[in-house]
Structures are given as C-alpha cells and as structure tokens.
Amino acid sequence: MMNVNRFSVLFRSVGIGKRLLACNLRRPEQQRSIKIQSRKLAYAKDLFLGQVNKAEVFPYPEIGNEELEEINQLVAPVEKFFNEEVDSAKIDREANIPPETLNGLKELGLFGIMIPEEYGGLGLSNTMYARLAEIISLDGSIAVTLAAHQAIGLKGILIAGNEAQKKKYLPKLASGEHIAAFCLTEPGSGSDAASIQTRAILSEDGKQYLISGSKIWISNGAIADIMTVFARTEVMVDGVKKDKISAFIVEKAFGGITSGKPEDKLGIRGSNTCEVTFDNVPVPLENVIGEVGGGFKVAMNILNSGRFSMGSSSAGMIKKLIEMTSEYAATRKQFNKRLSEFGMIQEKFAMMALNAFVMESMAYLTAGMMDRPGVPDCSVEAAMVKVFSSEGGWICVSEALQVLGGLGYTKNYPYERYVRDCRILPIFEGTNEILRMYIALTGMQYAGKVLTGKVKEMKKGNIGLALTMVGKKLRYSFGGSVDLGLTGKDGVVHPSLTDSAKKLEENVNLFGATVESVLYRYGKTIVDEQLILKRVADVLINLYAMTAVLSRASRSISIGLRNHDHEVLLANTFCCDAFFKNNYMLTQLQKHSPENNDANIKKIAKERGVSGDSIVFAAEAAVHTGAWSQSHTLCFLRFDVTQVHHRQLRLDYGKATPNINQRKAVLLPARSNLPRKI
C-alpha cells in the first residue's frame, strides 16, 4: 500500500484531495499480465479478404464516468507540471534532463504508468496510458526517456517475466528509483534483430550466464539500473545444438557494463542515448525472461505492444502546435489581411486538425481493442498507428513552422525544436519501411492461407463455395453495389456518414480483390516486391484510419457529444481524400498498370549508383544530365506521386474529384480534453 500512500500525499499537494483515491483506480482486468501466447489477429486481417469485421471496431470503445473522472484528475497535475516546471528549451540546449525534473516525474508516478498497483505502479489501461501520452509528448526528450523505460525497457518483465522477477524488479522500476533500458540493437544488426552477435555463455558451474557484446543507440543506456538484454545462447533442439536468442534481466550492479559517450543527436537531445558494452557480465539463471531461446519472440512482443501510443502522443503535439501557431496567424498581417484569412494558411491548419483527429481516432480505437479481455493481437493495428502518426506528425510540424516563416526557423522559438524532435518518429520503434513490410506480409500471409483453403475445398467438390465466390465476382464486375454491412437496416455507421461509409466499403472490396490478384501473380516471391508491399500497406493504413474516424464520429452522434457535427466534417473530409488516394494506389497494383512507375524507379536508382546490396552515390554517378547541374541531378528522386493523385487518377471509377475547398471549412477544433465517450 506504499504506492497509494505516496499518491495520497501527491494529490493532496495539487488540490485534488481524496476524491481520486476514493475511486477504484485499478480494476482487476487492468492488472493482468500479457501472456506470450498465440493470439487471434484483430480487425485488419479481414480487410485483406475484402471483408469488414464490424464487431471489432463498432461501436467505438467507451469509458465509464468513473474512469473518465479518474483520467481527468490524473491528467491535471501532469499537465500542470509540464506547463510550469519543464523547461524544454533548457533540456534541449544542455542535452540533459535536470535531476529535479526527473524527480518530479517520479513523484507523479509516470515511471509506473502501466505497472499493476500490486507492484507499486498506477496500473492504468492502454486507453488511459494513451491519454497521458498526449501530455508527456509536449517534451520529446522526456517522452522518449519514459517510453524507453516502460514501453520497452521493463515491458519484458511485465509481459513475460515470472512472479519472482516481477516482485523483485517492478516496485523500484515503478517508483523511478530504478530506470530501465532495452538493449537489442547492435553495430551489425539494426532492423534485422535476428542477426545480433552478443553472446551469453553458460558458466562451467551452470549457475549463471556470462554476457559479452556491444549494443548501440540504447535510450537510457547510461542512466539505466536495469536492462533487458538480448543475446545468443546455445540450446538443444531435437538433440542438435543451435543458436537461439534469449532475453535477460541485467542489473548494472552485476559489473562488467560500460556506457559510452552520449550521442550528440539532431533532436530529443535531452534523452540519453549511448553505446553499452558487456564484458563477461555474470547473470543468474533466474534472470532469463521466459524460456531460454525464446528471446526473439519476447523482443517482438515488446516492440509490438507499445507502438499504438504514438498516435495520441503525436496528436497531443499537433494540438499544441495548432494552439501556438493559430495565435500568430490571427495577429500577423500581410497585404492588409491576417494570415488566417489566406486560403493556403487555412489549408495548413485544416490539415493539422485533420491529422490530429485521425491519429487520436486510430490510437484510442486500438487501445480499446487492446484493453479487451483475451488480449487480441493488435500488432498490425499498432504498427499502422505508428506509421500514420509518425509521418503525419513530421508533416504537421513542418507546416506549423511554415506558418511562422523565418521566425519558426530561429532558435528563439520552439518550432525548430519540434521539427528536430519529431524527425526520429519514423525511425525508432521499428522503421516505417520495416513496419510497412510487416503490415503487408502479415495480412497477405493470412489471406493466402484462407484463399488456399478455399481452393482446396472447391477441388474437393464444394460447389456451394465455388458458386458463392463466382457470383460475388460477377455481381461486382457488372456494377453491382458493394454492401459490407456498414450502412442500411443493420448498419453500424450513422446515416449522416453514409457516403463516407460507402467509400470505405468500395475500397475494402477492391482491396480484397487486388490482394487476391497480387498473391496469384507473385506467389511466395511477393516477399521480394517491396514497392508492391508498400502500396498494400499504405492502402490498409488508410482503410483502418477511415474505419476509426467513422466509428468515432458515429459514436459521437449517437451519444450527442458536443461538437459531433465537427467530427462528422472531419471524418467525411478524411474519407473523401483517402478514398481517392486508395483508388490510385490500387490502380497501380493492377498488372501492366500504366500508372505503375516501379520499373522506372528501379532503373533510375540503378543508374544513380544504387545497385543490389550496395548503395553508393559516387561522385561520378552525379554526372551532368541535360540542363541539370551536378548539384541538381538527384533532386527529382524526392518526387512523390501520391501528392499529385488528383491529376493522375483514372476516371473509370465514376467518382467526382475531392472538393479541395472542403478542407478550408475544417476549422480549428475546440481545445479537447478526452471526450466523455471515447
């Protein structure tokens, strides 16, 4: 009960009193540990079959009044601390988080957000964690420090550790007395985690492992007391010795651990990142997490479980930027008009508001799925949230800086720091390139198994199945309407969103047919077609985002949430834009599609010095080409066809082009706390 007493003192000090302590802070279902086991894929898998599993995403996840009150009371002191006590400019300038700031974070309990109360933590749900992430993201260095500690550093103990390990390590990690780090990446293995070379050798007496090797880019590496370390171990598999990766809990107090000089980074400069070297570090047998040889699965589960929060954290950052830049745009005058009156400036604010809404919607939908009993496998959904939010966040901070013009480019204002801090988002917790491969291949593997099973059934003489599949294809090929159950008598989408729901249904149906076509065309070699897989992933991400905003807006209307009409506007605007982007990408996936530039892209890359497994932009490759000077020869490689999809769309879908002026109507959202019904 030490934890409750500590928070009693804390919340009295900020004027909240005993109200928070009187409510049931941690419900039993929130205290459960996530088991490493085979779990059912969640919503995304059925999209690969051209189907919508409505039960997974409709209605939008809700929270009760008690939990809402708890969230609001918990958020208030955290927001107050970040607004009044955190000097982000100083943290960035000195590349260090001051001890007093770290102590404040510890007193607020932010080092134990998702650790169950029985081990001294807050034991919050994924939904509540996502809400706090919105506030914590106001300082990138602090956000990364806390995420490295609990989203990955201690997560292995939480999801795969035994009871003895949890009792020994989690209490001090929850209080912040000990800080955690996640040690996986090595000089020779970045995204390819299976190729690590750090080795753990069983001692002669068989009582401990001796770990030797080097890890790089380790967040919290120099300040961590407890590390989750991944190393190769020798295990017996069917009587044969094999190298397998194992996960270990390593204390800095064990000795033999050396931290290198902190990296001088572009952004998140206050977070500690360094190389960590292990030299025959003795680790007791009881510190193996899970099974010996089961470390790779532990690592993947750790990484997969925490990505969803990037949606809410990015949205929190964008809403703060909107607040800051809108004040400037409303007062700055050019050509006798305020900046906020110019159409292109309005479009920037609309785009930022739209992105924040979509990120939030995806993050809280995913968090709600993860909070359900049974813990479904939401790794694909979480990866989609991460990709969409990290790239959307990067675009939004750049646009916010653009509104400020030259002022935004100076260090006197925080915008350039936001740009630098945000650039890491598409890189860490799995690069977006790797995640796109994971998203596409996971779904296509599932679709391949289902389709193979259907083919086998038809070969066995299942005429009913064959007729159903053929009839479906004929109906759609002759212009039959697509009905996946989102609208109509048994529909789950509110009537005011019918047009957008129909767009989603058409996209999903075409996506399923396209995936089937791609699988038949490439078979197992699809794993080598990265440009194809990228488009598959991008379409799927848009489909999930469309689903999230439709579900959220429908729920808001149904319960009479304030500003629900604004949510409808946001949802319709996004779905219209995403629909046409999806159609263009799906057209590119068709065989012999003239819109597909893949062959040209590969040829250009090869001619510019990128070939096979070597990437060499040699000086001699940057030759003069026509009127292009040497300094300009590579500029065209930055061209992105998705940005000009309105000009290049095929017209045989019979749809009107998006109304660009519709974006201007998307005004800034009211300053939002978490809605009563998420």
pTM of the model: 0.84
Q: What is the DSSP letter of 70?
A: H
Provide the pLDDT for residue 189.
Answer: 85
Please give the distance of CA 638 from its chain centroid, rounded to a whole number.
24
- What percent of the chain stands above pLDDT 90? 69
Q: Which of 65-74, 204-213, 534-543 has the lowest mean pLDDT?
A: 65-74
What domains are defined for the chain?
2-55+62-175 (1.10.540.10), 180-304 (2.40.110.10), 306-433 (1.20.140.10), 605-649 (no CATH)
- Per DSSP bridges, beta strands 288-289 and 610-611 are unpaired
Q: Judge contact between 250 and 200, C-beta under 8 A.
A: no
Q: Which of these ranges, 1-5, 89-93, 165-169, 446-450, has the smallest mean pLDDT?
A: 1-5
Query: Looking at the annotation, which residues are catalytic?
Result: 429
> Distances from the Cα of 322 to the Cαs of 75, 81, 315, 539, in angstroms?
20, 21, 10, 28
SS3 category, 283? strand
* Residue 453 pLDDT: 79
Q: Greater confidence, 100 or 666?
A: 100
* 617 phi and psi angles, rounded to 5 deg: -90, 75
CA 591 to chain centre: 31
Q: Does the structure show a pLDDT above 70 at 16?
A: no
pLDDT in tens, 105-150: 999 999 999 999 999 999 999 999 999 999 999 999 999 999 999 9
CA-to-CA distance for 124 and 133, rounded, in angstroms?
A: 12
Q: What is the mean pLDDT of the chain?
A: 84
Task: Give the single-character DSSP code of 622.
Answer: S
pLDDT at 76 over 70: yes
The pair of structure tokens assigned to 416 is: 């350039």
Q: Which residue has the higher pLDDT, 42 or 654?
A: 42
Question: For the segment 369-410, what is each residue's pLDDT rounded down to a tens digit?
Answer: 999 887 678 999 999 999 999 999 999 999 999 999 999 999
Residue 452's pLDDT is what? 86
Mean pLDDT, residues 575-595 taken together: 92
- Mean pLDDT along residues 428-442: 95
Distance CA 487, CA 500 (A): 10
- Which pair of tokens denotes residue 302? 């750790």
What confidence score (pLDDT) does residue 624 get? 39
State residue 405's pLDDT score.
96
Average pLDDT over residues 544-570: 97
The tokens of 546 are what?
A: 């469309």
